[in-house]
Structure 1
Amino acid sequence: MSGVEALALIGIIASTLQLASFSSQVLRRIKDYKDDTTTLPKEFWTLQDQLPLISHALHITYKQTQSDELAEEACKALIPVIKGCHQEVLKLKAILEKVAPSAGETGWKRNWKALTSVFHDKDVTAVAAGLAQSLAVINNYHGAYTAATTGSILQKLTAMAEMPQKVEVKVEVPAQHFIAPTVWTDDFAGRKDTIKLLEKLLADEDKHRRVSVIGLGGVGKTRLLLQYAYRFKGSDTHSVFWIHASSMSRMNKTCAEIARLVKIKGWENPMSNKIELVKDYLESPMSGKWTLLLDNADDYDLFYGSGKLSTSIPRSDNGAILMSTRDGRVGMEFAKGNSISLEALSLEESITLLDTRLGVEDNTFNDLKELSEELCGIPLALVQASSFIKQNFLSIPSYLEIYRSSDKDKIELLSEDFDDDYRDDEIRNPIATTWSLSFEYIQKRDPLAADILSVMSMLDPQAIPESLIYNEKSNLKFSKAMGTLQSFSLITSRVDGLVWEGRREKSFDLHRLVRLAMRSWLAHHERLELYTAKALGIMAERFVHSDWDTRAKWGAYLPHAAVLFQSDHLKHIEDVK
Structure 2
Amino acid sequence: MAEAVGLAASVIAIVELSAKVAVLCLQYSTAVGNARADITRLRSRLADLDTTLQGVQHLLDTRNHQALATSRKLVDSLDGCTSELVQLQSRLDPGKGRKVMHRVGLRALKWPFDSKEFSDIVSNLERYKQTISLGLQIDQTTILLDIQQRIEEVSLQPERDLSMARKPCFSLPFERDPDFVDRPDIMTWIKDRYTSPVGRMALVGMGGFGKSQLAIQFAHHARDTSPQTSIFWVHASSKPRFEEAYRSIADNLQLPRRNDPSIDILGLVRDWLQREEAGPWLMVLDNVDDVNLFYPNSSAGRDGAACHPADENPAALGMQRPLAAFLPKRRDGIILITSRSMDVAEKLTGSHKAIYRIAAMDHAQALQLFRNKLEGDMDTNAAPDLLRALDHIPLAITQAAAYINRRAPRISVKAYLDAFRESDKKKGSLLNSDAGDLRRDETVSNSVVTTWQVTLDQIRRERPSAANLLSFMSFFNPQGIPEFALRDYKDDLADNLKVVKDDKDNDEFEDDLDCSFARAFGCLWSTIRIDGNDCFYGPCQNTFQMVNSRPGPPVRCYCHILIQY
Aligned to 1:449: 466
User: Could you tell me which of 315, 318, 329 is aligned with 2:343?
Assistant: 329
Unaligned runs of at least 5 residues, structure 1: 1-170, 498-506, 517-551, 569-577
**What TM-score does the superposition give when structure 1 sets the normalisation length?**
0.55
User: Could you tell me which of 279, 283, 286 is aligned with 1:288?
Assistant: 279
The 5-angstrom pairing of residues 35-74 of structure 1 reads none
Aligned to 1:279: 270
1:493 aligns with 2:519: no
- Amino acid of the residue matched to residue 216 of structure 1? M
1:114-136 CA-partner distances (Å, limit 9, x unpaired): xxxxxxxxxxxxxxxxxxxxxxx
The 5-angstrom pairing of residues 343-354 of structure 1 reads 343-354=359-370
Aligned to 2:207: 217
Structure 1 residues 478 and 175, CA, compared in 2 at 3 Å: closer, same or farther? same
The 5-angstrom pairing of residues 302-313 of structure 1 reads 302-306=293-297, 308-313=322-327
Q: What SS does structure 2 have at the residue aligned with 1:294?
A: strand
Q: What SS does structure 1 have at the residue aligned with 2:281?
A: strand
- Amino acid of the residue matched to residue 281 of structure 2? W
1:201 deviates by 1.1
Aligned to 1:477: 508
Asked if 2 retains the 8 angstrom alpha-carbon contact of 1:357 and 1:383, the reply is yes
1:461 deviates by 4.5
1:460 deviates by 5.2
Asked if 1 retains the 8 angstrom alpha-carbon contact of 2:164 and 2:254, the reply is no
Asked if 1 retains the 8 angstrom alpha-carbon contact of 2:165 and 2:254, the reply is no
1:265 aligns with 2:282: no
Asked if 2 retains the 8 angstrom alpha-carbon contact of 1:216 and 1:326, the reply is yes
- Amino acid of the residue matched to residue 364 of structure 1? D
Q: What SS does structure 2 have at the residue aligned with 1:492?
A: coil
Aligned to 2:292: 301
The 5-angstrom pairing of residues 62-141 of structure 1 reads none
Structure 1 residues 300 and 364, CA, compared in 2 at 3 Å: closer, same or farther? same
The 5-angstrom pairing of residues 125-204 of structure 1 reads 174-204=166-196
For residues 243 and 378 of structure 2, what CA distance do their matches in structure 1 show? 46
* Stretch deviating more after TM superposition (274-283 or 389-398): 274-283
1:391-437 CA-partner distances (Å, limit 9, x unpaired): 11121011112111111111011111111121101112101011111
For residues 185 and 560 of structure 1, what CA distance do their matches in structure 2 show? 35
For residues 515 and 236 of structure 1, what CA distance do their matches in structure 2 show? 41
1:362 deviates by 2.8
- Amino acid of the residue matched to residue 207 of structure 2? G
Structure 1 residues 208 and 200, CA, compared in 2 at 3 Å: closer, same or farther? closer
1:229 aligns with 2:219: yes
1:303 deviates by 1.8
Structure 1 residues 294 and 462, CA, compared in 2 at 3 Å: closer, same or farther? farther
Asked if 2 retains the 8 angstrom alpha-carbon contact of 1:218 and 1:379, the reply is yes
For residues 210 and 364 of structure 1, what CA distance do their matches in structure 2 show? 43
1:341 aligns with 2:341: no
Asked if 1 retains the 8 angstrom alpha-carbon contact of 2:480 and 2:558, the reply is no
Asked if 1 retains the 8 angstrom alpha-carbon contact of 2:382 and 2:417, the reply is no
For residues 461 and 537 of structure 2, what CA distance do their matches in structure 1 show? 23
Structure 1 residues 510 and 300, CA, compared in 2 at 3 Å: closer, same or farther? farther
Structure 1 residues 271 and 404, CA, compared in 2 at 3 Å: closer, same or farther? farther
Structure 1 residues 203 and 467, CA, compared in 2 at 3 Å: closer, same or farther? same
- Amino acid of the residue matched to residue 422 of structure 1? R
Structure 1 residues 210 and 469, CA, compared in 2 at 3 Å: closer, same or farther? same
1:248 aligns with 2:235: no
User: Could you tell me which of 386, 391, 397 is aligned with 2:401?
Assistant: 386
1:514 deviates by 7.7
The 5-angstrom pairing of residues 322-471 of structure 1 reads 322-335=336-349, 336=351, 337-359=353-375, 361-393=376-408, 394-459=411-476, 461=478, 466-470=483-487, 471=490
1:314 deviates by 1.0
For residues 330 and 515 of structure 1, what CA distance do their matches in structure 2 show? 20
- Amino acid of the residue matched to residue 492 of structure 1? L
Asked if 1 retains the 8 angstrom alpha-carbon contact of 2:357 and 2:522, the reply is no
For residues 365 and 284 of structure 2, what CA distance do their matches in structure 1 show? 25
Structure 1 residues 403 and 232, CA, compared in 2 at 3 Å: closer, same or farther? same
Q: What SS does structure 2 have at the residue aligned with 1:272?
A: coil
Asked if 2 retains the 8 angstrom alpha-carbon contact of 1:490 and 1:511, the reply is no
1:387 deviates by 0.4
For residues 467 and 288 of structure 2, what CA distance do their matches in structure 1 show? 20
The 5-angstrom pairing of residues 548-567 of structure 1 reads 553=553, 555-556=554-555
- Amino acid of the residue matched to residue 236 of structure 2? A
Asked if 2 retains the 8 angstrom alpha-carbon contact of 1:283 and 1:316, the reply is yes
Asked if 2 retains the 8 angstrom alpha-carbon contact of 1:494 and 1:508, the reply is yes
* Stretch deviating more after TM superposition (439-448 or 239-248): 439-448
Q: What SS does structure 2 have at the residue aligned with 1:365?
A: coil
For residues 493 and 265 of structure 1, what CA distance do their matches in structure 2 show? 54
* Percent of aligned pairs with the same amino acid: 28
For residues 273 and 508 of structure 1, what CA distance do their matches in structure 2 show? 51
For residues 308 and 384 of structure 1, what CA distance do their matches in structure 2 show? 36
For residues 323 and 312 of structure 1, what CA distance do their matches in structure 2 show? 15
Q: What SS does structure 2 have at the residue aligned with 1:240?
A: strand
Structure 1 residues 288 and 301, CA, compared in 2 at 3 Å: closer, same or farther? same
Q: What SS does structure 1 have at the residue aligned with 2:167?
A: coil
1:144-175 CA-partner distances (Å, limit 9, x unpaired): xxxxxxxxxxxxxxxxxxxxxxxxxxx99921
1:317 deviates by 0.4
For residues 191 and 284 of structure 1, what CA distance do their matches in structure 2 show? 35
For residues 217 and 197 of structure 1, what CA distance do their matches in structure 2 show? 20
Q: How many residues align?
A: 348
For residues 479 and 515 of structure 1, what CA distance do their matches in structure 2 show? 16
Q: What SS does structure 2 have at the residue aligned with 1:363?
A: coil
Q: What SS does structure 1 have at the residue aligned with 2:195?
A: coil
Structure 1 residues 293 and 244, CA, compared in 2 at 3 Å: closer, same or farther? same
1:248 deviates by 1.2
Unaligned runs of at least 5 residues, structure 2: 1-162, 298-320, 492-500, 530-535
Over the residues paired in the alignment, what is the CA RMSD in angstroms?
3.4
1:377 deviates by 0.6
Asked if 2 retains the 8 angstrom alpha-carbon contact of 1:214 and 1:326, the reply is yes
For residues 344 and 192 of structure 2, what CA distance do their matches in structure 1 show? 22
For residues 481 and 389 of structure 2, what CA distance do their matches in structure 1 show? 21
Return the index of the structure with the highest Cα Rg.
Answer: 2
Q: What SS does structure 2 have at the residue aligned with 1:323?
A: strand
Asked if 2 retains the 8 angstrom alpha-carbon contact of 1:459 and 1:560, the reply is no
Structure 1 residues 434 and 490, CA, compared in 2 at 3 Å: closer, same or farther? farther
1:183 deviates by 3.2
